[in-house]
Structure 1
Amino acid sequence: MANRSLTVPESVSKVVSTSPPITTILYMNAPDKLGGMNFQWTSDELKYVPSQYQNYPNIGGWYGTQTGNYEQFLATEPEIIFDSVDESGEVSDVEDRQKKFGSIPDVAVYDDTNITTMNSSIEFVGKVVGEESKAKELNEFNEKNINKVESVAKNIPDNERKKVYYAESSDGLSTDPSDSVHGQLIDLCGGKNVADIGNSNSSSSVQVSIEQVIKWNPDIIITTDSEFYNGVYNNSKWSNIKAVKNHQVYLPLPHHTNGLTDL
């Protein structure tokens, strides 16, 4: 997907990826062919992972501030390694890793974490690993549900759209703005992301102050941090924010019965 020319095996039994989003696509397409993860699954995530897939080795990768280990990747004995390339099309890092991986083809995939446009990456990965029918099934599922969400969201009057703050870290003072990688679902579902700050094209969160959050006064707070969630209702700094006063703070974890999964 980066306009490089590579020769890949016609059929493969073991593949790995340097990037979590692409590894996730591989897991969805061909879990039996996946040779390792870039991260450690949490106990909550493992509740939804079949037992035969719970013990993938954590081989790290090259993303964010992480530093991959070539020996760990090569130790999995993959026939193909998938790498990421962004919309700029810059391939120097991919070419550098290809030299280190030697004869194992390092196949670049558009690292598209936008749920509305990632179908081409799913289709491409499915074709390379010989799982085209599964990729087609995944894309049809994705399109069906995106269309369903968008059909509902577009009918929400502007004055009824909820103001949402996405709280990250234990103090809740890291967030992601509208159109960012981690904040995109707020927009897709018809919410208004209150974080009118820059950095929308980054996958890194932005630090904000409690004064900013008070000024934004969100109707709803969504958090991925259980420590923040467990303490926010007893924290005087947050007590006057509408979402806290109305008990509209949600922790989207599988075990949390009143969380985002129930909205």
Structure 2
Amino acid sequence: MSSGPVRGVRFALQRQLAACLLVLSSSLATPPASAREVVDMAGRTVSVPDVVERPFGAAPPLTALLYALDPSLVHSLNMAFTPGSEHMLRPGTMDLPVLGSAMGHGKQVNPEALLALKPDLALGWLNDKSDLPPAGIEAPFRKVGVPLVYVRLETLADWPPAFEYVGRLVGREARGKQLADYIRRAMARVDQAVARVPAGKRVSVYYAETPDGLATDCDTSFHSEPIALAGGANVYRCEQRTMYGQERVDMERILLWNPQVIVAQDPMFIRTAAGDPRWQRIAALKSGRVLDVPRKPMNWLDRPPSFMRALGIQWLANAFYPDRYRIDMRAETRTFYRLFFGAELSDADLDELLGGGRR
């Protein structure tokens, strides 16, 4: 047989294969015929399915939001939950695939992996500090034909309307309102307790985010917002420059600030500070006011910033001003986990979450 016919047969087979792949891709990515138009929180009009069954959260806060609304809506993760949290979550949650996110840093979602998930809708993180332009965020979803709806989640005050909006979007309206109401009440209680503390008498706080304690965030950053909401005065006063944050500072500046309280995000920092005589000179260490942030199943304050902050600001306010914000944190933590996770915490769970609060 001559080479010409062979090439012709091969070309025909390649065309047939490409056509089959195109049909398969279209069947997975094309939204159902029954659709509706919604206006997202960025003001865009988006065509979405009448019934949303397989939403994808394009960033950790969005996946957290979906989980709280209904764990059955979560089919993949952006990042893993804290190890050892299995009993606080729906069975199988820890085994879900980790696809990454569309944020501009960390593991980025792969369009092919997204397509295999068969999502019918994606939720995008609307945050004015985003390091990516909208085109960069939207690209992977446009490529596979999945509609993207932006949800604003920059401050804790954004969470109640976000829960209500997404609750309506995915058919969980009553649940969305229930969660929104809790957050509004928690914020109001904390604000009422700390609002009258004069600026000059607010507890000075340093936010230590890394094992060495030398990375922190500005007082205006959304990463450190819980400190401000709880009435703390963040000693690192500046304007947030990037979405990621964690700006480096030196030990000399921290010694000059001499904060009354240190909020520690990394558990290794406790060991670092205990073995470094420079840290021992700081007021927070002298008085034992180093707060080890609870992290199960998600961090109570940040990374990711989530609805957990509604509990985190109560924990902080009680630690900053125990005479002003009096609360039974064990009882409140039980209530919160029951509502947002459907989890019943044991005494051992509470000991682990709250027992190491001050070091």
Do the structures match in fold with TM over 0.5? Answer: yes
* Equivalent position amino acid for 2:123 in 1: F
Taking the aligned partners of 2:89 and 2:241, their CA distance within structure 1 comes to 31
Structure 2: distance between partners of 1:123 and 1:10? 17
1:184 corresponds to 2:233: no
Deviation at 1:48, TM superposition (A): 2.8
Give % identity: 27
Structure (1/2) with the larger helix percentage: 2
The answer to whether the 8 Å contact 2:48/2:147 transfers is yes
Match of 1:162 in 2: 203
Instruction: Tell me if the contact between 1:176 and 1:200 (Cα under 8 Å) persists in the aligned partners.
Output: no
The one-letter code matched in structure 1 to 2:100 is G
Distance 1:201 1:27, change over 3 A: same
Equivalent residue for 1:93?
A: 136
The aligned residue for residue 225 of structure 1 is: 266
The amino acid that maps onto 1:167 is A
User: Could you tell me which amino acid in structure 1 is paired with residue 109 of structure 2?
Assistant: G
Structure with larger Rg: 2
1:63-116 deviations in Å (ceiling 9; x for gaps): 1413221122122111112222334896323442332122x2222222x23102
Q: What secondary structure is seen at the aligned counterpart in 2 of 1:179?
A: coil
1:52 shift after superposition: 4.4
Whether 2:253 is the aligned partner of 1:209: answer no
Amino acid at match of 1:98: F
C-alpha deviation, 1:257, in angstroms: 4.2
SS at match of 1:169: coil
Q: Contact 2:209–2:216 at 8 Å: present in 1 too?
A: yes
Can you list the C-alpha shifts for 1:129-158, whole angstroms capped at 9, x where unaligned?
A: 111111111111110110000000113244
Give CA deviations for 1:6-27 in whole Å, capped at 9, x if unaligned.
Answer: 2211112211121111111111
Task: Give, in angstroms, the shift of residue 45 of structure 1.
Answer: 4.3
Among 231, 240, 244, the residue aligned to 2:281 = 240
How many residue pairs match? The answer is: 260
Match of 1:30 in 2: 70
Residues 82 and 107 of structure 1 are in contact (CA less than 8 Å); yes or no, is this contact kept in structure 2? yes
Q: TM-score, with normalisation over the residues of structure 2?
A: 0.67
Give the Cα–Cα distance (whole angstroms) in 1 for the partners of residues 157 and 163 of structure 2.
Answer: 12
Cα distance between partner residues in 2 of 1:65 and 1:72 = 18
Q: Once structures 1 and 2 are overlaid, which stretch shifts more, 34-43 or 211-220?
A: 34-43
Unaligned runs of 5+ in 2: 1-39, 297-351
User: Residue 56 of structure 1 corresponds to which residue in structure 2?
Assistant: 96
Q: Does 1:105 align with 2:147?
A: yes
More moved, 39-48 vs 188-197: 39-48
Q: 1:3 and 1:64, CA in 2 relative to 1: closer, same or farther beyond 3 A?
A: same
Aligned with 2:223: secondary structure?
Answer: coil
| Aligned CA-pair RMSD | 2.3
Partner of 2:58: 18
Mapped pair 1:119 → 2:156 = no
1:54 match: secondary structure = helix
TM-score, length basis structure 1: 0.90
Is 1:72 the counterpart of 2:113? The answer is yes
